[in-house]
Amino acid sequence: MSRPIHALIDLTALEHNLSVVRRHTPRSRVMVVIKADAYGHGLLRAAEAFKSADGFAMLELDAAIRLREAGYRQPILLIEGFFSISELALFERYQFGTVIHHSEQLEMLPVYRRAGGLDVFLKLNTGMNRLGFTPEQFPAALESLKSNPAVGQITLMTHFACADEPNGGREVARQLQCFNAATAGCNLSRSLANSAAILRYPETHADWVRPGIMLYGASPFSDTTASELDLCPAMTVSSRIIAVQNLRSGDGIGYGHIFHADRPMRVGIVAGGYADGYPRHASIGTPVLVNGRRTRILGRVSMDMLHVDLSGIESADVGSPVTLWGKGMPIDEVAQSASTISYELLCSLAPRIRIET
């Protein structure tokens, strides 16, 4: 019998969250972001739930090939583009779109032979300072693409640095102004908004939106919960108690004894640890559900197990169900207690975790 820890992926929740995107952006096309194995939810599993999307944004070329060979005909955009001349043959064969964000990519383009076959998202760096051409470099890059017979549709794009911050409006406005100034007079499609901008800054929606984290039922904001945004968790990670310890006052638990009981208490040992993707740095008090009741983790998370407080949960015993995050236990709360973000938890789900739908 396998270890009891597993992840349940709710395809209906994924579909619902895509409908929330569409509700916020009725005049935009939606390019769903399914990089990193669809944020840990499974590439083809998520793609099936998002089959009504207008396009897919990805990072990994091999994953994009899998998606195309699975029969998806929508535009597939590689959001870091191509890294070598040799990859362009695959872009041509599978009709992938590419982000162009530096001059070396422009220099490789002449080897692409299919006239008008390469759709391009030209990236403008408006302040993220990660990828993209500066406003000064942008006109020459755009002209190079326009004059290249291999290039088909051109979409202009940027990425917001602070749309998810509580006071990020000023920086969003500054980046938007920079983008509008640099692209003035260009009669081309535009793509700017990530999840946070979709939800808070409708002026950024433009022709294409690129939702990521909201599709998977987590909030992009620290000051607004997913449920307040009508988002449903798509991944629920559950396990069971595999042992119970009865502590005396003063007893320590786990590696380093960073927690000592201040009274007699019952502690459950859960099959689940950092080798499963649960954050090792989760602090004492990180919330968890046992038998559907909210409690907390205790001590230091180890590779395969963690401790939970069974105080006041008299019915809990070996075999009792535990929800680490998901339905009933918001992943954003767990992430906050572990000084991280929900993105990291979702993407850290270990391959050894059994997946159910």
Give me the CATH topology for the region 235-356: Lyase, Ornithine Decarboxylase; Chain A, domain 1 (2.40.37)
Instruction: Please report which confidence band the pLDDT of residue 175 belongs to, taking 50, 70 and 90 as the band edges.
Output: very high
Q: How far, in Å, are 128, 179, 197 from residue 134 at the CA level?
A: 11, 10, 21
Instruction: Please report which confidence band the pLDDT of residue 342 belongs to, taking 50, 70 and 90 as the band edges.
Output: very high
Active site residue 255: yes
Give me the CATH topology for the region 11-219: TIM Barrel (3.20.20)
What is residue 87's DSSP assignment?
G
Tell me the per-residue pLDDT of 25-76, one tens digit each, with 9 for 90 and over.
Answer: 999 999 999 999 999 999 999 999 999 999 999 999 999 999 999 999 999 9
Instruction: Tell me the DSSP string of 178-218.
Output: HHHHHTTT--SEEE---HHHHHH-GGG--SEE---GGGGT-
Q: Are 247 and 264 within 8 A, CB to CB?
A: yes
SS3 99: strand
Please give the pLDDT value at position 2: 86
> Which among 253, 250, 305 is positioned nearest to 274, based on CA atoms?
305
> Which among 195, 219, 221 is positioned nearest to 209, based on CA atoms?
195
Q: How far is Cα 265 from Cα 251, in angstroms, rounded to an integer?
A: 10
SS3 118: strand
Q: Are 156 and 173 within 8 A, CB to CB?
A: no
Question: Can you name the residues that pair with 99 across neighbouring β-strands?
Answer: 121
Instruction: Please report which confidence band the pLDDT of residue 1 belongs to, taking 50, 70 and 90 as the band edges.
Output: low
Instruction: Tell me the DSSP string of 245-266.
Output: EEEPTT-EESGGG-EE-SS-EE
Average pLDDT, the chain: 97
SS3 72: coil
Report the percentage of the chain scoring pLDDT > 90: 98
Number of neighbours of residue 218 by Cβ within 10 angstroms? 29
Report the percentage of the chain scoring pLDDT > 70: 100
Q: How far is Cα 206 from Cα 46, in angstroms, rounded to an integer?
A: 25
Q: Are 339 and 310 within 8 A, CB to CB?
A: no
> Which among 251, 274, 254 is positioned nearest to 324, based on CA atoms?
274
Instruction: Please report which confidence band the pLDDT of residue 209 belongs to, taking 50, 70 and 90 as the band edges.
Output: very high
pTM, two decimal places: 0.96
Q: How far is Cα 50 from Cα 130, in angstroms, rounded to an integer?
A: 28
Number of neighbours of residue 255 by Cβ within 10 angstroms? 11
What is residue 11's DSSP assignment?
H
Q: How far is Cα 328 from Cα 324, in angstroms, rounded to an integer?
A: 10
**What letter represents residue 186's amino acid?**
C
Q: Give the residue extent of every domain in the chain.
A: 11-219, 235-356
Number of neighbours of residue 264 by Cβ within 10 angstroms? 12
Handedness of CA 335, 338, 343, 346 (dihedral sign): negative
**What letter represents residue 59's amino acid?**
L
Dihedral angle over CA of 294, 299, 301, 302, nearest 10: -140
Q: Is the pLDDT of residue 307 over 70?
A: yes
Q: How far is Cα 239 from Cα 350, in angstroms, rounded to an integer?
A: 14
- Residue recorded with tokens 């789900």: 349
> Which among 155, 22, 130 is positioned nearest to 77, based on CA atoms?
155
Tell me the per-residue pLDDT of 129-160, one tens digit each, with 9 for 90 and over.
Answer: 999 999 999 999 999 999 999 999 999 999 99
Q: Are 342 and 332 within 8 A, CB to CB?
A: yes
* Residue of 35, 201, 216, 278 marked catalytic: 35
* Residue of 72, 146, 201, 255 marked catalytic: 255
Q: How far is Cα 244 from Cα 307, in angstroms, rounded to an integer?
A: 9
Q: Are 310 and 295 within 8 A, CB to CB?
A: yes
Q: How far is Cα 296 from Cα 314, in angstroms, rounded to an integer?
A: 15
